[in-house]
Chain A
């Protein structure tokens, strides 16, 4: 089975995120980059599927030069190969452009399964997996809390508002996973050493045969017209419970007209 995992490098979870004053895009220089937390679960799930069924895992990322660290991390967890799409013309791409680029790279390599995280912690759109499925014209089995491959079928439990749905599709298919699905492994020392020798294909948009008119800020179908920092919240009142904490809260709730 050939599995691709799409991973994104995002600013460190705890770092304060800011938009750039010049072009209203996320300031990726301002903080350390890490693998999007939710994509770790995608990598883990791919590795488990390969361990059970045999095959190969390729990690695919689109991002600036240093996103190579994130590819390396996935390789040290156990993925076999990497593809890194990097090009200045990609800067400012929105979800539509990102899904276009990823779909083209994926289509050129014919995978049985493409696995995504369910959301990136910076953009938080949760749309790229569905968009890639739409572009590739393959079934979308997303928000999986459980994934099974059975011959040419993929069966998942899709997390819903009220519980979960059992969903099945034939391969090739696009999967996204939620954090409940597994516990991602840490790269071992051996894994880290082995990763250094694994193949990573670095592609420019020209190498990937992408249409420049569909990429970057100028091709985005949405524009940020203004942004501002929310004024920091005025410090609230914090009291120590001396036996009347509950009553004090009621007092506050009454002033605010909640009771």
Chain B
């Protein structure tokens, strides 16, 4: 059974949910091997990766992997590929994940498929394109399939692997050290689930009418254990931080449930949420295009509908 490399996404040493999804997907394709790139590797991380199926864990924990943009990571994965000839490489479809995939494709003379929502046993990938209107099956015809997969495409399953650690000596070339990270600014993070990975997303748009209005959105999100999202109108106005923007130029989300409040449904917004499984809409304009996506919609003022909704959910939980 060939090895399937899964590039680990982590935040401060904590393995992200999307990686567990990719390990589960990898187990259906071959023998999952996790690839850890950067500092922060720990026993806890090893235990999590093993629990979700990693038979091998390639560890390259050199600081240089985090100090320079993308190129050292692609180089290190290419070095591993030269040694193990994997069946495929799975990478999370984040902005950086896609860049790693792109560079790796050139280095290893391999085809690359981005934003897959499923991968079959023969490595045929399913993509949902043009805002979800078309379903495409694609395959890599040259080299090793390099596939970036959207978060929330697979339900992660506990299935312990062997978890054998394999150290990878990182020799980052000078050429890969061209773009140096000199500072890092982390905008405040709350205790909510991460936007791209959350099972439920509650979003607010221009209709929320100010930073204060987002209190109503956050309260609903918290009652559901959801992440908060925003339209560009709301992030541009400074009502909510930019990294919570959903859409073409923000995050792509594909949750089980998306609740859009005071959002008209411009095409750039829909591009980032159209593959949500269930969509609920609150908007006072019955003509708002977002209603075309709604499984359930209420035409009304969000400032009366949303608090009532939150209160009712809290009541049922009690």
Which residues of A pack against B, CB within 8 Å? 13-14, 16-19, 24, 37-38, 94-96, 99, 118-119, 121, 124-131, 133-135, 137-143, 155, 158-170, 173, 178-180, 220-230, 233, 236-241, 243-250, 252-254, 256, 258-259
Contact = CB atoms under 8 A, between A and B. Distances in A.
Interface of B: 11, 69-71, 74, 94-96, 98-99, 101-103, 105-107, 109-115, 124, 128-130, 132-143, 175, 178-187, 189, 196, 200, 224, 232, 242-243, 248-249, 256-257, 267-268, 271, 278-282, 286, 291-301, 304-313, 316-317
B220 to A, nearest CB: 9
A254 B135 CA distance: 30
B298 A236 contact: no
A173 B178 CA distance: 9
B296 A165 contact: no
A253 B227 CA distance: 17
A166 B130 CA distance: 33
15 contacts: A16-B133, A125-B115, A159-B95, A161-B196, A165-B183, A167-B182, A170-B178, A223-B139, A236-B297, A238-B297, A239-B298, A250-B312, A256-B257, A258-B224, A258-B278
A249 B128 contact: no
A131 B99 CA distance: 8
A238 B291 contact: yes
B178 A99 contact: no
Nearest to B252: A124
Contact of A237 (B134, B296, B300, B308): B296
Contact of A180 (B139, B242, B271): B242
Given A17-B130, A19-B136, A170-B178, A259 B224 contact: yes
B8 to A, nearest CB: 14
> Which of B124, B142, B243, B298 neighbours the largest number of chain A CB atoms within 10 Å of its CB?
B298
A19 B107 contact: no
A64 to B, nearest CB: 19
A37 B11 CA distance: 32
B293 A245 contact: no
B69 A158 contact: yes
B129 A142 contact: no
Given A162-B243, A167-B182, A179-B249, A238 B298 contact: yes
Contacts of B293: 233, 236
Given A16-B133, A162-B243, A230-B134, A241 B305 contact: yes
Contact of A140 (B179, B187, B267): B179
A118 B249 contact: yes
B187 A163 contact: yes
A-B CB proximity, top 8 nearest: A241-B300, A246-B308, A139-B178, A221-B111, A127-B102, A166-B183, A246-B309, A221-B142
A17 B133 CA distance: 8
A140 B178 contact: yes
B181 A166 contact: yes
A131 B184 contact: no
A167 B179 contact: yes
A240 to B, nearest CB: 5
A226 B110 CA distance: 21
A240 B304 CA distance: 13
B218 to A, nearest CB: 16
Given A140-B69, A220-B111, A239-B298, A168 B182 contact: yes
Given A165-B184, A246-B298, A250-B316, 19 more contacts: A118-B95, A124-B129, A131-B102, A131-B106, A140-B179, A158-B181, A162-B187, A167-B181, A167-B182, A170-B178, A221-B110, A222-B140, A226-B137, A236-B297, A240-B286, A241-B298, A241-B301, A250-B313, A252-B296
Contacts of B232: 179
B298 to A, nearest CB: 4
Contact of B257 (A37, A158, A160, A258): A258
B300 A168 contact: no
B141 A220 contact: yes
B147 to A, nearest CB: 10
Given A222-B112, A225-B137, A127 B142 contact: no
A160 B97 CA distance: 11
Nearest to A180: B242
Contacts of B301: 241
Contacts of A161: 11, 94-96, 196, 243
Nearest to B232: A179
Given A127-B102, A130-B99, A165-B184, A223 B138 contact: yes
Contacts of A227: 134-137
A236 B178 contact: no
Contacts of B300: 240-241, 245
Contact of A167 (B180, B267, B305): B180
B142 to A, nearest CB: 4
Contacts of B129: 17, 124
Contacts of A119: 248-249
